[in-house]
């Protein structure tokens, strides 16, 4: 067995969801909405299963979806791309895997910013890369540009940048994006941008793709996922946007990972990407209302809730809430004693983890939010004593 896997724990999302299933706890851990998802998009998938092709689509993705992705990004983010700049993958996870396998040679350094999505480090290591970690810290979670600059060496090839950032729900601002772009250009880095949350932003925020910053078009690999754009997280339809010199090797890696992605889901995603702006606004509005609902109830129960600028998540600072338990201990006890599952933020760090912050998913119906908040309110009383 490869030693990376010998000692690796099961993903925290799977671990917590399994515990929630076993105990019947309300699962605010793993990030997925509890609704069925947009009917017209599911209908488009069903129609494609019944009436369209169910055989292998082209390795790069269907022309229809590749064009739809390019049109969508031009319309929403002013990105200059055509269908030939797009590769369709089986989720953002496969896109990340293919990109890291293709772009890293053994010994190359890859900059990772903690807190980081759990797949990043094992994928970098398995691709032969050497991870260089820098950290962000609560409560502001500002992009640590100076620490990033200091961590770059002549062997550094790639920086992996997740914006909006899961788990701490930050949307990086113009100044942070401009500073990162300037650094990538000056130090000749490839930016691997995980932007799966690009449409889930609140309070009128705009997504600023790093690829559209000056000097970044040719050195950025942008990754998106239909799962998050359409609240259908099980669909696993991802897309890569990159200039030909970057896209070609990534496509070579993709052809021997999954080769292709179900054609019916590609058809439905192509349909969905063409939807009016009002669909995306309504989706954001619904999640923002859920965010506000859970936040208000948690604050009323004495929890210190950190700002959530985007994603399906908000964080609680336990210490600032008067709770002395560590994040993991709190989460394990909350599943058993409160019947609510959450994710400890320390799971997104490999070193120097803060241990007092937990993540909750608010992409749930009002009834579920209210019940979970009530249980957490009672639990706070219990663990404060
Ligand atoms: N990156 C981030 C930051 C995520 O939050 C997720 C899942 N929510 C993924 C990648 C994986 O996306 P997919 O399900 O499309 O593989
Ligand atoms: N992205 C989801 C989250 O952050 C989890 C996806 C997974 O379970 N791998 O909760």
Identify whether residues 256 and 351 lie together within a single domain. Answer: no
Identify whether residues 104 and 180 lie together within a single domain. Answer: yes
Give the mean pLDDT of the chain: 97
Q: What total of structural domains would you count in the chain?
A: 2
Using CA positions, which residue lies closest to atom 7 of ligand 2? Answer: 13
Identify whether residues 121 and 269 lie together within a single domain. Answer: yes
CATH number at residue 11: 3.90.1150.10
User: What are the tens digits of pLDDT across the range 237-268?
Assistant: 999 999 999 999 999 999 999 999 999 999 99
Q: Ligand 2: residues whose CB is within 6 Å?
A: 11, 13, 30-31, 166
Average pLDDT over residues 190-209: 98
Average pLDDT over residues 186-194: 98
Looking at residue 23, its pLDDT comes to 98
For ligand 2, pick from 10, 27, 30, 362 the residue to mutate: most ligand atoms within 8 Å of CB. 30
Identify whether residues 73 and 214 lie together within a single domain. Answer: yes
Using CA positions, which residue lies closest to atom 1 of ligand 2? Answer: 31
User: What are the tens digits of pLDDT across the range 297-312?
Assistant: 999 999 999 999 999 9
Average pLDDT over residues 56-80: 98
Identify whether residues 255 and 111 lie together within a single domain. Answer: yes
**pTM (predicted TM-score):** 0.98
d(CA 385, CA 323) in angstroms, rounded, equals: 9
Domain residue limits at 235: 39-275
* Residue 7 confidence (pLDDT) above 90: no
d(CA 134, CA 146) in angstroms, rounded, equals: 10
Identify whether residues 46 and 123 lie together within a single domain. Answer: yes
Looking at residue 139, its pLDDT comes to 86
User: What are the tens digits of pLDDT across the range 209-235?
Assistant: 999 999 999 999 999 999 999 999 999
Which ligand 2 atom is nearest residue 30's CA?
10
Using CA positions, which residue lies closest to atom 9 of ligand 2? Answer: 13
d(CA 199, CA 171) in angstroms, rounded, equals: 11
Identify whether residues 260 and 295 lie together within a single domain. Answer: no
Which ligand 1 atom is nearest residue 94's CA?
16
Average pLDDT over residues 329-334: 98
Identify whether residues 101 and 208 lie together within a single domain. Answer: yes
CATH number at residue 55: 3.40.640.10
Residue 233 CA, ligand 1 centroid: distance in Å: 8
d(CA 112, CA 343) in angstroms, rounded, equals: 20
Identify whether residues 91 and 117 lie together within a single domain. Answer: yes
């Amino acid at each position: 067995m490869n030693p990376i896997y010998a000692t690796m724990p099961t993903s925290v999302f799977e671990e917590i969801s399994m515990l929630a299933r076993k105990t019947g706890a309300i699962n605010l851990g793993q990030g997925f909405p509890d609704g069925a998802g947009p009917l017209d998009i599911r209908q488009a998938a069903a129609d494609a299963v019944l009436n369209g092709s169910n055989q292998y689509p082209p390795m790069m993705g269907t022309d229809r979806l590749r064009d739809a992705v390019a049109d969508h990004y031009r319309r929403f983010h002013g990105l200059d791309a055509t269908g030939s700049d797009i590769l369709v993958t089986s989720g953002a996870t496969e896109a990340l895997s293919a990109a890291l396998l293709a772009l890293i040679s053994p010994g190359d350094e890859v900059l990772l910013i903690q807190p980081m999505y759990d797949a990043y480090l094992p994928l970098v290591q398995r691709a032969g890369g050497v991870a260089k970690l820098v950290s962000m810290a609560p409560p502001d979670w500002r992009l640590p540009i100076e620490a990033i600059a200091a961590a770059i060496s002549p062997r550094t090839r790639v920086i992996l940048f997740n914006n909006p950032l899961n788990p701490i729900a930050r949307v990086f601002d113009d100044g942070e994006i401009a500073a990162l772009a300037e650094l990538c250009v000056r130090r000749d880095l490839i930016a691997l941008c995980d932007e799966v949350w690009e449409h889930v932003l609140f309070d009128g925020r705009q997504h600023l793709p790093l690829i559209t910053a000056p000097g970044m078009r040719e050195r950025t690999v942008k990754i998106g996922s239909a799962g998050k754009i359409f609240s259908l997280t099980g669909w696993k339809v991802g897309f890569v946007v990159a200039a030909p010199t970057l896209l070609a090797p990534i496509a070579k890696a993709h052809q021997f990972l999954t080769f292709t992605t179900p054609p019916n889901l590609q058809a439905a995603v192509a349909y969905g990407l063409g939807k009016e702006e009002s669909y995306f606004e309504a989706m954001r509005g619904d999640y923002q209302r859920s965010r506000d609902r859970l936040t208000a109830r948690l604050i009323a129960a004495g929890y210190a809730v950190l700002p959530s600028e985007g994603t399906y998540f908000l964080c609680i600072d336990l210490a600032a809430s008067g709770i002395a338990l560590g994040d993991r201990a709190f989460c394990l006890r909350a599943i058993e004693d409160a019947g609510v599952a959450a994710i400890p933020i320390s799971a997104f760090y490999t070193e120097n983890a803060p241990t007092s912050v937990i993540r909750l998913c608010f992409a749930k119906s009002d009834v579920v939010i209210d019940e979970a908040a009530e249980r957490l309110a009672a639990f706070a009383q219990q663990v404060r004593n």
